[in-house]
Structure 1
Amino acid sequence: MSNIQAEIEARLAETEPEVEVLLAEVVGGDLVRLFIDHPQGVSLDLCERVTLQLPELRERYALEVSSPGTQRPLSKPEHFRRYVGRKAKVRTREAKDGHKTFTGELLNATDDTVTVAASTGVVSIAYADIHRSNLVGD
């Protein structure tokens, strides 16, 4: 998890405790793209409230807050565990078995690794080696 994501999670834990930060990423050096979820869904009003709760961040970056959509980002072990059995795309920082992208069914998610049944075979990937991951439609 990035430092920026940890900073956002700490701030929102105080002000919007039901908001789950799925992914916070710096894009192009001047934009933070923030994907959030909420038990009652993500509304425009919620996105606006979250934006207003992050004034220090808005001083340093442009901020884009949105719902996860169908290609929901997966960035924590609990995200992967929640969607075992679903299809996901996992991109690694470095090539593993000659590949950097693995798309297939999530078979297992421990505290350290996720296992994917990709077209190249079953592969276990350490979370530290994952660059980006998200659910994909069937």
Structure 2
Amino acid sequence: MGPMEERVLRLLEPTISALGYELLGVEYLGQGKHSRLRLFIDAPDGIGLKDCEQVSHQASAVLDVEDPIKAQYALEVSSPGLDRPLFQPEHYASYIGQRVKFRVRLPVDGQRNFEGQIQQVDQQDIYIIIESGETLKFDSSNIERANLVPDL
């Protein structure tokens, strides 16, 4: 997440938490008048349409008052789905041993896209076993986007 998404996350987290949901992460897709702000939520019993509606209504009220994004955008609230996005190091720690696909902001060994198995997580670093069997260390602040690869 970038600085703007982090700001929105900090702004909305108390409201969404008070509703009984976890705000996993925020994505802002700036595309002019078609821009979107996505909120990913979860709960112990899973997420349904009514949950998304409730969070959307409350989040809209906070965003309208605080106005952290000056541009026009559509608000989307979603469950994480099978290809769950991972935003924070603690999210990776919950899925050690699982496959993940991700993109880094700055190339690592000339490459920006990676896929592998989460091996270890510490304060700031994520260790991934890639296809060759090699373990690579990634600074979590360099990870632009990451999703679990579902076992289908």
| Same fold, TM-score > 0.5, yes or no | yes
Q: TM-score, normalised by structure 2?
A: 0.82
Shift of 1:85: 0.3
- Cα-to-partner distance string for 1:92-117 (whole Å, 9 max, x where unaligned): 10100111111010000111110011
Moved more, 125-134 or 55-64: 55-64
Q: Number of residue pairs matched? A: 136
Alignment partner, residue 39 of structure 1: 44
| Residue 13 of structure 2 corresponds to residue 9 of structure 1 | yes
Alignment partner, residue 93 of structure 2: 81
Shift of 1:43: 0.8
The answer for unaligned runs of 5 or more in structure 1 is none
CA distance in 2, matches of 1:103, 1:6: 29
CA distance in 1, matches of 2:43, 2:113: 29
Following TM superposition, where does structure 1 have runs of at least 4 consecutive aligned residues deviating by more than 3 angstroms?
58-61
| Residue 28 of structure 2 corresponds to residue 21 of structure 1 | no
The answer for unaligned runs of 5 or more in structure 2 is none
Among 108, 117, 127, which residue is 1:96 paired with?
108
Alignment partner, residue 56 of structure 1: 62
What percentage of residue pairs aligned between the two structures are identical? 36
Q: TM-score, normalised by structure 1?
A: 0.89
Q: Is the 8 A contact 1:112 1:126 kept in 2?
A: yes
